[in-house]
Structure 1
Amino acid sequence: MLLHVCALLFLVNSCLTVDLTYRIQEEKSPGTYIGDIAADTHLMDSVPLQDRRLIRFSLLEPDVADVPQLFRVSKKTGKLYTTQTLDAESLCAYNSECYRIIHLAVRRVNSFIRILKIRVIVMDINDHQPEFPNQNIDIQFSEGDWKGKKKLIPNALDKDISVPNSQITYQLQKDMNQPFTLSVSESVDETFDLRIALEERLDREVKDSYLIQVVATDGGSPPKQSVLDVRILVTDVNDNPPVFSKNVYNISVKNENYGVTPITILSASDLDAGKNRLITYHFSSKTSRTATNHFQLNKLTGEIFLQKTFASGQKLSHKLYVKATDGGSPPLSSVAIVLVNVISQQNNAPTIDVNFVSSSTENKATISEDIEVGSFMAYVKVTDHDAGNNGEVTCGLYHDKFQLEILGPKEYKVTVKSPVDREIEDQHDFTISCQDKGSPTQHTESKFSIEVIDVNDVRPQFLKETFKFWIYENQKSNFPVGYINASDPDQGPGGKLTFSLPTEKNQFLPFQITDSGLISTVISLDYEFHNIYKFPVFVEDNGIPSLNNTVRVVIQVKDKNDNPPYFIFPGINPFQMDVDYHPYHPNNITVLKASDSDSRENAFLKYNIVLGNDKQLFSINQYTGLLYFKHAITQQDAGSYILQITVKDSGIPVLSATTTLSLRLTVNNKTSEIFNTVHLKPDYQVHMYLLITVVLVAVTVSVPLTAAISICIIRCYNHRDAPLRENSSLSCKFVNEQENLVCRSQLAISWPDVPMALKTDLNVAWNSLPNRPKQTFHPADELANSPVLTTLGMKIHTAREVTYEVIFIYF
């Protein structure tokens, strides 16, 4: 039972799988060797040598008469051959793998050893070329077809079944000047639609046929191709009107009956074909009734006859408007003018006929003011049908802007003699005068008026080179500043002006300008931020081309008192300060500093003590801010004082700021006794050299010590008090009270500058003494020569200011 199951599974597996696959190209001759089945399957490897001669191979394909056998196998060797020439196109479908499955039985005598399933793939070769249904075709384009018009042509087919061999590419072969392209699009059935596309409009009158070739090439190796000849015929449309040999015919005839003889023959031609070129002639509606009564026109030949003579006094010059019309649908036509001059023996005045180049009504025409000198303005035709001298005419035009030039007998042209300017004169009148040489002379005048049309030839002009305006700060936005006055004498758009402001990225202008030239603010202006604006204003007209100009504008912002003053020193409110008073102490206490962001009178400040000075002990300089004792201080004045000090500007309205100064006053009596002792003993003589030594030692010790302490203090407050130090200036004040001289100077920051600063203060002090000659003060020398030198002291008043006080007592 197990053996039967295994055999069944083996047979099923053999039916579902392919044991061998062979490939062979189509079109090989019958009997072509395909493969050795016995060797490729290795069946003989397991068969003993003595039994191999008993192995037989045979095909299991049914022998059907209508289906020929394609392959055969050698019974003993197991080699596979073709029985006929294989054609892939007849065996298989397009774009699919072409193969045949054969079943081969391997027997040992009469028993089956194995059934083999063999697939033979027939490989397609490029044995077919692309083929068009016809070798040549004709298509038509109309000369009325627009660019992009397409005409369908047949595509080519390739019988090869493989994609590479049957894949067709198309190429258009044409001359370079042929206006056609090939449009290729793929259809849903994987075929291609070929269309000839028009690149530009055709003109049958230039060329009525074209020959191009469409080349189809397959993708085989080597590729094969075929060619389709396409002849393109251009069909006619009625796109050419008849054209006269001349636009104007001038003829002169005698006033007599010509009978069947034509006075002139008109000729017109048409480039179209067929009925589109058949021409008929007839008078247009503009031809006068008088002319049609006297002249006859043959509509087929274009012959004109004088069929009736003119009576005496009738007009002898006539315009015949002859229209030539073709037979197209719709028909096209053109018009020629026939000027007929009927010669008469009468002595008539010449007639003047003027045709202006520009538009004109009756005797009025227009020219542009940019017309060039020598430009052709009008054609003048003078008619005088009289015979002999009666018909000889001379003409003239006398004007400073225009002149009359001779073109031929009785033909003139009016040209520009000198430039015209509409802004100077917008209309010119002139007269053309003609007279014949008859006896008596006949004279004719024609008056004309020329209107000069404006062109944009004048750039906008400003009334000033610079426009200056002023405006107070803090005005609302859209506040008017002033007008920019500009003018342009041109007319129409050329005289309409548009103003604009610069739009640079790095510059913001808080202004805007209207088309009428009104400048107004965009935002409220701040004098303290920017007090003067200088910028250009650009103006251009609306002419073509546009002309422009630029003017300089200066807008000054005037200050308003909109910023209250503020205190720089003291920088905090309230500010505490200790004052140690002793006799011979200077009356000056400190200097208050304030500032105001406004300018001029709005920043002119005045100081005043408003509260805390009930004893009238203190006073302040209203202009400098110097706070000082109003009179001598006694022990009873010691104590604390809270002064409220205000600073006001001088603007309208007045703005102010207030600070509070807390003073703690200490009066030192001991110091007073020491100084009094000095004064009570005027007869006491101090040895000069000893005094000099004491002074020098005091200076030597005090200056470095004070400088070191000052440097530390200045460095600690360097960043916090930078604005105060920048705005402060070195000051030296002298107060001559009770024979005391006080001089203050800022302490130098570096050690080398300390002696120099002291030397400078001493020089100032010495030269400021009354009744002393002005000289340079050298401390080492002058102190020794001073009449009386009592003492030299130094003191630091506050942490914000380091001050030397050099006190001299001079009698």
Structure 2
Amino acid sequence: MTKRIGYRNWRWQALWWHHFFLLWSTIDGQTRYSIPEELKQGSVVGNLAKDLGLGLSEIFDRKLRVASEAGKQYFSVDAGKGELVVNDRIDREALCGQSASCVLPLQVVVENPLQSHRIEVEIRDINDNSPSFVTPENHLKIPESVALGKRFPLENAADPDVGSNSLKTYSLSKNEYFSLKFKDIKNGKAVPELVLEKPLDRETNALHQLLLTALDGGTPVRSGTCKITITVLDNNDNFPIFSENEYKVSLKENSTKGTSVIKLKATDADDGFNGDVKYSFGSRTPDFVLSTFEINDVSGEIVLQGTLDYEISKSYLIDITAKDKGVPEMEGHCRVQLDVEDINDNAPEIVLTSKPSPVREDAPSGTVVALISARDLDSGDNGKVTLQLSKPSPFTLKPSFSNNYELVTSGPLDRESCSDYNIEITATDSGAPPLSSKKTIPVTITDVNDNPPVFTQPSYIVYLKENGVPGSILYSVSASDLDSGENAKVSYSILDSKVQDVSVSSYVYINSDNGSIYSMHSFDYEKLKVFQIQVQAKDQGSPSLSSNATVHVFILDQNDNAPTVIYPSSAALGEVRTKRPVSEQDDSSQRLLIEIKDDGEPVQSATVTVSILLEDGLHEPILDLRQKVVEPSKKTGRITLYLILSLASVSVLSLLTFLILAVKCIRSSRSSGSCCMRRSDCDDYKNPNRNLQIQLNTDGPIKYVEVLGGDMLSQSQSFRSCMSPMSEYSDFTLIKPSSTTDFKEVISVLDASLPDSTWTFESQQVSTPCQKDFKVLHPVCYVSDSVSHFDSLPLCLYEWHFVSAPQRWTAKL
């Protein structure tokens, strides 16, 4: 049984390789080598690098390797010399059986860039096998009544070698009864036959011993022998005879069990038991035939009891024996050749010749990703295979030669959109109906640095209280990068810029790893109200990519400055009024110490001293008048009394005159701006800031207002005012700062979407009648402070005016 299985495997391999080489026989122009079989391991086949035009350095750099399509790696490449060498024992008979041509197709693969070359190695036969018979002995029973010239077929010898090394002839040991002749059959092989040359006489010689020798044509000649034992039988001298020596039938490979193959008929001229025929398979029928077919010994019908597979065995040669029941038995022989018809029962197979390489996302179209081949064990149209991609993708299949393809890129790749592809390839044959199979090839897309870091927002707004602790964190910016690996690692830095002519790096620094911005020192709102920081995020790719973002830092005011008094007076001072009429007995010089407090946390305060000089209608100090009154001596007291009464009368008249002049002065001062104060005092306090400038600045999406005013005086100052000692309503008022609501109403008229603009505040006097008992001592004077960020709203618009003659502020665009 072992021998029959080996015979079956040998025939299957021979048929497969024969079919495979027929498919490759259409390829021309390939590199081809020829070597004898059984070469020692390490034997040189040829200089592969030279024949492919590769330098020795490219062998290692481009990873030159050989892929065998036969399943076993018989060859390898000497990386040092670029030679193709034998890697394992090569038995031509095991590879190709008795095929006339034995060619091993090899695929040579090099990388960087990925390429493939086809080479062929022809394996030449050597005479390493002797002819052999299946059985070392052959027993024949021949009746003595057999006529001269009767032929008896003998067993064929087999020689795995081909060509001149194969089986050539037979010889028979010398004897007087039998000779050796040959019979040609359809496959071209000669079958040895014994020919009876002399009548047999069982009584003279009942047993004959012959030796059949098979010789090949090699040098030296190899041979094999078979011992033939002939037993001479008595009488029953007619053999069963078939109508033909050889029958030829065909059967589809998908035929079911029990299908009839052929019904044979043999006839025997004898009567009785000598003429009854019984059918059987030949004694040397292989086991794989016995397991596939069975024969009815009475009817001679052969039926299928197993399964047929065209890809395993394309044909069967079945020896049939017909024996009679005579004594001795007589038998006849014939042969049935069964050809198996192929059907499309094998799906095509997709083979990865080279594993797919990772592809850069900037790879150009046409970049080779993998090498693919297709095969189908069926024949004819059933074995013709086409490959196609099942789903749309930026890849395509490019035919190279025969059923070999290259998987190449056909469009742009973007790792951020798709980092991995599972490319499904469908192989379909041309059978009816067609069969197909699928294979998924994973392809990885490698990253290139094609995405800059992106901040969470293009600009940031930070509000920072003044007088903060140096080293405290201001804000943390964040940027992300769609790339991967080093290309996605982001570092942060601050671009150099100027803040009040000083590098911004002296104000803040940034953590390059997490984007946290820290202060270098505390900030003073009164010196710096707003500044910008340009932050850059840069990745670690090559070349690196970057993007910028602006951080707007607004310093918020804290109550760290005491109120500042600006002439004539400001802040929350309110009104200063006389509690009673001024008399001659009052001191001519009054000094008021006024404390000014703000509403901040903590409260800040400042003091101001107001000096008031009381004067008479002639602009002379009352002090001098009093001195003149108390200085007369007692001796002249009565005279003085009269003089005082006279002086009082004159004073009353003078007061009335002064009041009339004062009314006129008030009316004229509304148009001319003059007053009745001493010119030297009033000139010093003319309007110090007639126009108030409010500037709207724009910095990106942030808009803030800056109010420009006059110079500020020191925190503690003395102011002088002129009052008439006869005035009953000599009041002056310090108006409180304008409220937050008032300032917001002014700001609301500004359109933040317009470009930078400037508003001018002008002073207008409102013409109102003076009170008859009110003397204008000074024209209206006014000042303003400056601000920048309207959220804290520290704008102060101060007015110092008399109650009966108020000032009004208006804003013009």
TM-score by length of 1: 0.40
Q: TM-score, normalised by structure 2?
A: 0.40
Using CA pairs below 8 Å that are at least 6 residues apart, which structure has the higher relative contact order?
A: 2
